Amino acid sequence: MKKALFSALTLALLYGCASTPVEPEKPAPPSAAPEVQPPVSARPIQPAAPQGDALPDRSKRSVFYEYDKYDVKDEYRPLLQAQGKYLAENRGKKMLIQGNCDERGSREYNIALGQRRAEGVKRMLLLMGATGTQVESVSLGEEKPRCTEHNEACWSQNRRSDMLYGGEY
């Protein structure tokens, strides 16, 4: 019983922040830790890419979808163009596209739906210059929700494809 209570507390601590659907992303941006070493040195590590703006931080490398849909909306074209170009110019770079779904419906069907979402993103990247060996599309279905409440505000965040570069997953 005590154990269950403890787990419930751990759960609350872990997911407490995620359940306020405001800004769930918090990993890399250096602005979060002010008094540590100067963050300046983090910038120039970027590889030979001539266009500095080609690689937005990972929280901006997501495509969102309507319920039960997998088509990429026009608003994401500039993002995919930039990523495709970056991959074309950096053949050594690898990308994993993870497709996600909201919690509604069959878990296995959602694996297939998430796969189709990720595959759609992959196909567009290939059209824009990336190669098949650089990009792998996989599905997380409804298994790794970013937001865990049972409402549309949460669901809309979870219907998503994330484009992750090697080292980010």
Partner 1 sequence: MRSRTFAPLIAAILLLAGPAQAQLTIEIIGGGANQIPVAVLPFAGESALPQSITEIVEQDLSRSGRFRAIFVGGVNPPPTEIAQVNFPDWKSRLADALLIGEAKRLNDGRFEVRFRLLDVLKQSQIGGIAFTLTAAQTRLTAHKIADFVYEKLTGERGVFSTRIAYIVKQGPRYELRVADADGQNAQSILISPEPIMSPAWSPDGVRMAYVSFQNKKPILFVQSLTASKQPAPVANYRGSNSAPAWSPDGKQLAAVLTKDGTSQVYLMNADGTNLRRITFSDAIDTEPFFTPDGQSIYFTSDRGGSPQIYRMPAGGGEPVRVTFEGDYNVSPRVSHDGKILAYISRVNGRFQVMAMDLDSKQVQTLTDGPRDESPSFAPNGRIILYATDNDNRGVLAAVSSDGRFKQRLGIQAADVREPSWGPFLGN
Binding site for partner 1 (CB under 8 A): 1, 3-5, 7-8, 10-11, 14, 94, 96, 98, 103-109, 111-116, 119, 136-141, 143-144, 150, 166, 169
Question: Of 3 and 26, which has the nearer Cβ to partner 1?
Answer: 3
Question: Of 62 and 139, which has the nearer Cβ to partner 1?
Answer: 139
Q: Are 139 and 114 in contact (CB under 8 A)?
A: yes
SS3 21: coil
Closest CA to 135 of 169, 166, 100: 166
Minimum separation from the CB atom of position 101 to partner 1 (A): 12
Minimum separation from the CB atom of position 137 to partner 1 (A): 6
DSSP line for 51-77: -GGGS--GGG-EEE--TT--PPPGGGH
Q: Are 161 and 98 in contact (CB under 8 A)?
A: yes
Minimum separation from the CB atom of position 64 to partner 1 (A): 20
Tokens of 16: 């407490």
Minimum separation from the CB atom of position 149 to partner 1 (A): 8
SS3 16: helix
Question: Of 30 and 91, which has the nearer Cβ to partner 1?
Answer: 91
DSSP state of 29: -
Question: Of 84 and 114, which has the nearer Cβ to partner 1?
Answer: 114
